[in-house]
Amino acid sequence: MELKDKVAAVTGGSRGIGRAICVELGKLGARVVVNYAGNEAAARETARLVVEAGGPEPVVMGFDVSDGAAVDAAFDAIKAQLGGCHILVNNAGISKDGLLLRFKDDDWNKTLQTNLYGAFACARAASKLMTKQRWGRIINISSVVGETGNAGQVAYAAAKAGMIGMTKTLAQELASRSITVNAVTPGFIETDMTAALSDDQKKVILDEVPLKSMGTVVDVAHAVAFLATDRARYVTGHVLSVNGGMYM
């Protein structure tokens, strides 16, 4: 079990991509901290699935990543309860969509505060523990739209692009402490969000995907698991696309 004795904090771990990442890291032996913002029942279901898959009993922890004080308190609690934090997956995010001319300041601020500041706050808190351990993995879940842009998603795309810039900067800052920082950019993935699209909408998107299929949350989780292990010891500052060729 490649991640035995490692503690992995996954933000937004209650469903979708975050849930799949929790299960995959748990299968590799990590003690997973399943973060959630509001749905404790869903987070506990993630924890059950981790155990069902053969992983150690996770810790379920509710805190809002957009609240810096709450983030600091959470990582203090992780250290006190589990001894440290070796892996951080910044997956929590929201999407407030709309065209620029009608986009509200409040929606912009909420999206950037959760998606970008939240990743920053968690990385700052986790890296304090990782530097003392002289080992760590920070993996930021960005998006293909952070690389390509997408009409109607100005705030979401800006936040996800910001995560890529932050990834490359932190990779440079933390490398001397054997902490790698990488990003994963999912493309068209089967989630609750994409399930709401019509067949016609899906067809338009799939026409832009060379592999002509949607990805799964497990595809993303496998990429994260690779970056979390020593198999990716010499990989840092990298953006790993999981998009079926949608953007190259």
pLDDT at 163: 98
pLDDT at 195: 83
Residue 186 bridge partners (DSSP)? 242
Mean pLDDT of 56-66: 98
In whole angstroms, what is the distance from residue 55 CA to residue 30 CA?
Answer: 7
Residue ranges per structural domain of the chain:
7-242
DSSP 5-22: T-EEEETTTTSHHHHHHH
**Architecture label for domain 7-242:** 3-Layer(aba) Sandwich (3.40)
Close Cβ partners of 203 (under 8 Å, ≥ 6 residues apart): none
pLDDT tens track for 81-129: 999 999 999 999 999 999 999 999 999 999 999 999 999 999 999 999 9
In whole angstroms, what is the distance from residue 193 CA to residue 191 CA?
Answer: 5
pLDDT at 30: 98
pLDDT at 194: 83
Mean pLDDT of 201-211: 94
Examine the pLDDT at 235 and tell me if it is beyond 90.
yes
pLDDT at 196: 81
Mean pLDDT of 221-232: 98
Examine the pLDDT at 191 and tell me if it is beyond 80.
yes
**pTM for this one?**
0.97
- Over the chain, what is the mean pLDDT? 97
The single residue of 36, 117, 156, 247 carrying the catalytic annotation is: 156
Examine the pLDDT at 193 and tell me if it is beyond 90.
no
pLDDT tens track for 2-50: 999 999 999 999 999 999 999 999 999 999 999 999 999 999 999 999 9
pLDDT at 4: 97
Percent of the chain exceeding pLDDT 90 equals 96
Active site residue 156: yes
Contact call for residues 62 and 43 (beta carbons, < 8 A): yes
Residue 34 bridge partners (DSSP)? 10, 60
pLDDT bracket for residue 1 (50, 70, 90): confident
pLDDT at 197: 84
